Structure formats: structure tokens, C-alpha cells
Structure 1
């Protein structure tokens, strides 16, 4: 065996939380992988003898032969029974149907201070005099191949360089489309380049010094949330600042109206790409405007625009009213989930001594009524922190006040359903203590009644403010709701949100090979990470082979 081979060994890396490293024989012996304890795959569609692997340490490649009935994928090549492919360092083997990724890695064994018996990437003791500055403050350089970085799956190929300007693109409907003409692909090979002008344009961008970013798929960082761009600026450009003004984002989810161009009868399915550009501050264009030089089409932004909401203004209306009462009373809050009821009540009423009655905490309206009655018997002030949308739900607490001989007031939190949905999305992203509220629940509320006619002595109106007290947020953003709950830290943020029930595509597919003859820098693919498996979306195959450089980042969902 050559000296090169004797210095290291090839191994397969699973995503974070997956099985331990799989080391490949260095003597030319075949290793058969499939369903079983070595891969921890239990999927019945994966054969126990799914693929045969023969490692070549000299060339640092692995020959892969398909044995199972269902297809495996080697890099961007889908294999059928009896066919073979080859893995190079950084390539990914998907065991079956685009699932259960294994990335080929190389471990050096003869370097100073190495630990041959330790798992790969085991950190050694820092050498004397080594810089002990926290890692987050160092300029980070990506490793070649795939990396799993918390919520991101990052691919970096040789030749990737930092750049001061970025040409960013959505993938489906912007760079590629289905060959079948259907909305969703019908097979792994059901794709084609959207417009013939695209490869040449990408080549021109490379020559002009752009870093190319491809943003697609679902997950925590789903557009228009700016997490993908934040990662690029903070960790994936080697500390080189990016000029937003000199960069651009291109996408087909632009909020265009029906019949926006001749022969284009359907309106855009969303406005997420345009909102992403607004959130980041990037100039925006649709693929037709950017590649074909079509004139700009008319578009509409969502009904709720967080940029129009000001944190200034009165805390409540009418301002002549007293927010607090020195005597026992019942305050009934009314408003959508996410309208700001709990934040306002905790900051201004509970902090002043009001007893907090909340169905989420107590579990039922019956317990809420009992808790209200008990507090009134003790001569305390009570605030009912529920949605209380209709006359019957409010009547329970009005009756409690009548029975105790105390006044009752209604605080109406007047956020619209669009703003409440926006706030709920941000709350799901930032505060794990809150359970997510689905659109089905939001649209089920029918607020009615006049308050005073129900026996309420006074009706106050709480103005809608997007930022909580002490918020460090400096500008409005748009968010996008997703089909699963996402988590982060508290407060309402004024950022765009899209509300829909999205899910991933049903299978992977080989991506287009765009040979521009130039080295483009970075493609960033954002997506949803399922436990121990990669989402079944074509972007995962990372098929933008641009010259000698292919790199990407895939966003992982919570």
C-alpha cells in the first residue's frame, strides 16, 4: 500500500445525532451496508444488503455498487440495482430514496499528536502558546465537503473564496423547473434549467467577482426569515464584509398578481422571496426581470406590513381612562392569540397586584371562573387573560363581578388577525414556553358583542405595538409561518411572516449541472432537517457544478 494510504483512513460520517463513524476497510475488502445496527436504519425500504463499498485509500475514493431494489444516490448520481458509482471526499451517499446520508471523510493518522483510536474530529489538547481566544471570535474557514453546524448543513468544495458581493437565487421556479411541467417533480430526474440564459448569466456573475447563493426549501431559516443570510455574513465569508447594495436576490415568489405577463395567468403562490430581500435590504428581481430583462410586473405585499406599525403612541385608549383601579374589580381581556394580551397584562396589571387568571395555566374555563370567584372573595383585583371572543365567554366573568358587587371592565386588544398571526409566528420562533397556534384555530375566532351592552362598565382599547418593552430590535422584518413549530426567545418582533402549511417535496433528484467554465463561490441551500435523515428535496443533491467549485449550506429545521 502506498505511503499516502498508510497515513490515514476513509470513513463515513452521519449527521449529528446519527450512528457513530463507519470506518472503511483499507485493504480492498468490500463492506456491505444497509438496514441494520451499523447504520441504525430501520426503514424497510432499505435492504439489509443495500450497497457494496470498496475503499481506495490511495485515491481517497470509494466505489459504490447498488445491491438493493430501491435506489441509492451517490453524490448526484442515482443508482439502480447492479449499477456502480464513485464517492470522493465530501460526497454524500444516500442509502435509499434520498434518505440516510453518509458523507465520505478522510482521517489523517500520522500527524503529530493524533489519536488513532479516538473518533474522528476528537479535539486534542491545545499546544503551548496556542491562541485561546473563543472560537466564535475567530475568522472561520469552512472544511471541505459537508459539515453539520447546528441548524445548517454546509457543503464546501475546493476553490471557494470569500467575496464582497453576492448574487443570491431561489432554486425552484428561478433556476430550475420540472421537465414534466407539473408543479412538483415526479421523479429524481424531473428537472431542467428554467431559461437557457441562466448558465451564461451565472458565468458572467462569476467573472465579475460575485459569490453565488442558492436559497431554497423549508425549515427554521425558511425565507423570508434572514437566518441564512446572517450565517453567510457572520460565518461563511471568512470575515469579508458583504456589500448589500452591490448584491442582489432573485426569486419567483414575488407577490405578482394574476396575468402579470402575457400567458402568465396565475398569480405568484407567495411573496416570500421579495420579503426576504426586504428583510435583508437586498435589491430584488424576479427571474424574468433578471435573466430575460422583462419589465417589472405589478405585485402586492401582504395585508399586514410591519413597517407601518409604530411603537410610539398611547399605551391605551381612551387616554383619559385610568389603567389601574385601587378597588376590587374584574378586567376581561379580549383579543386574538398573539395580540399582546399576556405581555401587556403581566407588565401593567399583574405587576400592580392583579390576580392573573389564564386558561392556558388552569386548563379549563370552569377553573378560571372558580379562581376569579376566590380572588374576589378575598377582596382582590382580577384580570382574565383569555381570548374571550364572544358574549357567552365574557358573561361568565361579568356574572362573577355582579355576584361580588364589583365593577367589570373590558380591555379590547385590537390587533388584526394578520398582525396576530405575524406575532404568533415570531412567538413560536422566540419563546419555547408558548404552544404554537395553528391557522385553523386563528380563523375559528369570531369576535362579537359591544361590551357595555353586556354589562361591562367600561371598554378600553389597547393599541397595537410590535416591539415589547426593552426590545433590542431596530427595524421591521417579515416572517414566514411553517408547518411545524419553531423555537427561539421572547417578545414580538416586527418582521414579515408568511402563514401557510408547507412541507418538503417527496423525493430527491439530481440537480442541474451548470458548467459555466468559471468558479462560482458559494451556494446556500436551506432546508428542513428530520431526525437522522435529510429532507427529500432536490436541492440536497447540490447539483450546481460550476467550474471546479461547488459549495452549499442547507438550513436545518428545529
Structure 2
């Protein structure tokens, strides 16, 4: 059988000036060419499928029966049989994720308007696309992609921009840290201070490479405050034990607390700077949401990521560190399905 996939935003548009509909009946068929072209696809043996993200259902802002009624009204207007897949919340089924979508139909095509087009992508079209999620969804599941203007109106392809972070290009065999001559742990008592975005791999790195060597693990999420973290460091050092501080520590002020504790105990203090970018950290965060794990990480919202970025100051030896290591995010996977999921685009 043959299949053609569409995003709801391709065939529909709000009746007002807003990007998104503001009421259940705030919709219109985007172009008059849509209905006859879909009808022709069905006549020639194709199946038409709509994919849509409706996070409002999970958030309690949209009642399922209201959305169902809207879909029924749309299909009644089109007068066509269409299968509709609705992602009602976060997780693997929300576009652009597509690890559980199997495409057995040919030709394989997706048409949608969340295409990553910039401002002024065509004459008279000044607004940039609100997202690139549908183009990424097509990439994730191996479909050819067309915008509504390209497919229904025959316009030439518009320029677009993909996210800066491409999970397909991440090398699992890359070097883990720089300089390569550095030692991850020391036989002498010391304090290691992490610096890095949430979801940049700090906790996994410490538990894999540092904590097994006898270091005391100090983390604000589990202790509750930086004051308790400082107190835990002081106790460990009095016992002659090394410490690994797993907090984001974006600025000099937050790092100075632990440098001062190390100085007071007459031990060295090193900085491990986790180099994952904002885009990569957000991808890691979404991956955590989609995959069960023995180590439960709370979801990190965008405000926390951007707060880190706003306050970030590059670590420097002048702060009192004896050494600064650059720790890179090098993924390892428990199975092939996890790797497939990780290497799909998750942020549009």
C-alpha cells in the first residue's frame, strides 16, 4: 500500500493573525488546492495520515473530547477518510521523535509547515516558521519532506536551518577529556568541582570514573542547598577523603565556595568543565524523558538551562584551581534501541 503523511499545521491554519489557534473552532483549510489533491491521492491508492502534537491535553488545557470534535469537523469539511495520530504529551511519540514509528508504505513522504524556514522565506511571507520539528520528524523516520507551498502550490524549495546540534554526528569513540595526559583521580586528597549545564553528563561521568575510587559524592539535588554541600565537603576532607562536587557551578561565586573549602583544608582543587552545549544538554534532557533509567533525573525546564547560560563564566586557573579538565560528552548505550533513539533529533 501507499502512504502520505501530513502534519495538522500543513492543512490547517488559524483564522486570525496568531501562529497557533486560539479556540476549538479557530481553524481553516490553508489552501483551496489541498482538498482536491488529497482526494486524488486517495483515488490513486494512497492512504492519508495526519500527525499532530497536542501537549495541551497532557497539561489539562485541552479536553480530549474537544480536540476529537475539532478533528471530526475538519474531516467532515475535507470529506475524506484520514487516519489521525495524536501525541497528547511528552515522550517518544511527540514530534520530532519517531523511534516507534514504522514506515512500510512507499513512496515515503511527509508534508508540513514546521520546516525551519527563516524570516522572509518567500515574498510576502515575513514570519519564520515557529519550529523545525516536522522536518526533523521526517529525517528521523526516513521520509522525504515537503512544505505545503512546495507540495500543493508547486513553489520552489525555500531555505531552512537545522539545529546546531546533530545527534547523528556524535562519535562514541571520541576522546573523553582534555588534556589527554591528565589523571581523572588522584592518590592525594582533593576537591573536584564540576561545571556544566544540567544534563551535560556530570553525574554519569562521576559515578563511572570518580566515585568508584573512593571520592565522596556531593550534589545539591540530593542535599538541598549549597550550604549543605559545603558542609559535606568539609566533613569529608576532615576525614581525609576526596570530594567530587556535582553541581552546575556556572559562575566564579558558586565555585569559590569549594575552592575556599579546599584551601582551608590545604588540599588541591581541580575543575572538571563539562563542554556539552545548550542544544546538546537539552537533547540529553529530552532523551532522559523518553527512556527509563535506574538513576532518576528530574526533568529540567528551559528556564534552568537559560539561567545557567546567562550566569556562565568560563573557569580559569586564577580562581584557585590547580588544573582544569575539559570533559566531553561521549555517549554509551545499553542497547541498539537506546542508540537509535538518542541519534534522532529531539528538539525542533
TM-score bucket of the superposed structures, by smaller chain: 0.7 to 0.9
Q: Structure 1: any 5+ residue segments left out of the alignment?
A: 1-162, 234-240, 478-492, 500-558
Alpha-carbon offset, residue 183 of structure 1: 3.8
Equivalent pair of 2:333/2:339 in contact (CA under 8 Å): no
Q: Distance in 2 between matches of 1:327 and 1:363?
A: 28
Alpha-carbon offset, residue 180 of structure 1: 4.6
* Aligned CA distance change for structure 1 residues 296 and 409 (closer, same or farther; 3 Å): same
Equivalent pair of 1:256/1:267 in contact (CA under 8 Å): yes
Q: Distance in 2 between matches of 1:373 and 1:397?
A: 9
Could you say what secondary structure the match of 1:215 adopts?
strand
Equivalent pair of 1:339/1:414 in contact (CA under 8 Å): yes
Q: Distance in 2 between matches of 1:187 and 1:339?
A: 39
What residue is the counterpart of 1:216 in the other structure?
A: 52
What residue is the counterpart of 2:332 in the other structure?
A: 468
Could you say what secondary structure the match of 1:264 adopts?
coil
Alpha-carbon offset, residue 187 of structure 1: 5.2
| Structure 2 counterpart of 1:343, from 189, 204, 217 | 204
Q: Distance in 1 between matches of 2:20 and 2:182?
A: 57
| Structure 1 counterpart of 2:297, from 434, 459, 466 | 434
* Aligned CA distance change for structure 1 residues 472 and 351 (closer, same or farther; 3 Å): farther
* Runs of at least 4 residues off by over 6 Å: none
What residue is the counterpart of 1:330 in the other structure?
A: 191
What residue is the counterpart of 2:104 in the other structure?
A: 242
Alpha-carbon offset, residue 498 of structure 1: 2.7
Equivalent pair of 1:248/1:283 in contact (CA under 8 Å): yes
* Aligned CA distance change for structure 1 residues 182 and 450 (closer, same or farther; 3 Å): closer
Alpha-carbon offset, residue 208 of structure 1: 3.0
Alpha-carbon offset, residue 311 of structure 1: 1.7
Alpha-carbon offset, residue 190 of structure 1: 3.7
Higher radius of gyration, 1 or 2: 1
Alpha-carbon offset, residue 416 of structure 1: 1.1
Q: Distance in 2 between matches of 1:311 and 1:209?
A: 43
| Structure 1 counterpart of 2:248, from 387, 393, 412 | 387
Alpha-carbon offset, residue 204 of structure 1: 2.3
| Structure 2 counterpart of 1:303, from 156, 159, 164 | 164
Q: How many residues align?
A: 308
What residue is the counterpart of 2:5 in the other structure?
A: 168
* Aligned CA distance change for structure 1 residues 212 and 420 (closer, same or farther; 3 Å): same
Could you say what secondary structure the match of 1:389 adopts?
coil
Provide TM-score, normalisation by structure 1. 0.52
* Aligned CA distance change for structure 1 residues 387 and 189 (closer, same or farther; 3 Å): closer
Equivalent pair of 1:358/1:386 in contact (CA under 8 Å): yes
What residue is the counterpart of 1:411 in the other structure?
A: 272
Alpha-carbon offset, residue 400 of structure 1: 1.8
| Structure 1 counterpart of 2:37, from 201, 221, 240 | 201
What's the Cα RMSD here? Answer: 2.1
What residue is the counterpart of 1:448 in the other structure?
A: 313
Could you say what secondary structure the match of 2:150 adopts?
helix
- Could you give the per-residue CA deviations for residues 231-255 of structure 1, whole angstroms, max 9, x where no partner exists? 5x3xxxxxxx704x62111100001
* Aligned CA distance change for structure 1 residues 398 and 434 (closer, same or farther; 3 Å): same
Residue 356 in structure 1 maps to residue 217 in structure 2? yes
Alpha-carbon offset, residue 351 of structure 1: 2.0
Q: Distance in 2 between matches of 1:206 and 1:197?
A: 15
Alpha-carbon offset, residue 469 of structure 1: 4.8
Q: Distance in 2 between matches of 1:439 and 1:187?
A: 26
Q: Which has the higher helix share?
A: 2
What residue is the counterpart of 2:285 in the other structure?
A: 424
* Aligned CA distance change for structure 1 residues 462 and 291 (closer, same or farther; 3 Å): same
Could you say what secondary structure the match of 2:53 adopts?
coil
Q: Distance in 2 between matches of 1:450 and 1:193?
A: 54
Could you say what secondary structure the match of 2:185 adopts?
coil
Alpha-carbon offset, residue 293 of structure 1: 1.4
Q: Distance in 2 between matches of 1:471 and 1:353?
A: 29
Q: Which has the higher strand share?
A: 1
- Could you give the per-residue CA deviations for residues 101-148 of structure 1, whole angstroms, max 9, x where no partner exists? xxxxxxxxxxxxxxxxxxxxxxxxxxxxxxxxxxxxxxxxxxxxxxxx
Alpha-carbon offset, residue 177 of structure 1: 2.1
What residue is the counterpart of 2:322 in the other structure?
A: 457
Kindly report which structure 2 residues correspond to 1:5-44, keeping only aligned pairs within 5 A, or say none: none
Kindly report which structure 2 residues correspond to 1:471-490, keeping only aligned pairs within 5 A, or say none: 471-473=335-337
Kindly report which structure 2 residues correspond to 1:52-91, keeping only aligned pairs within 5 A, or say none: none
Alpha-carbon offset, residue 451 of structure 1: 3.1
* Aligned CA distance change for structure 1 residues 367 and 431 (closer, same or farther; 3 Å): farther
- Could you give the per-residue CA deviations for residues 450-492 of structure 1, whole angstroms, max 9, x where no partner exists? 4311111011111122x23535357666xxxxxxxxxxxxxxx
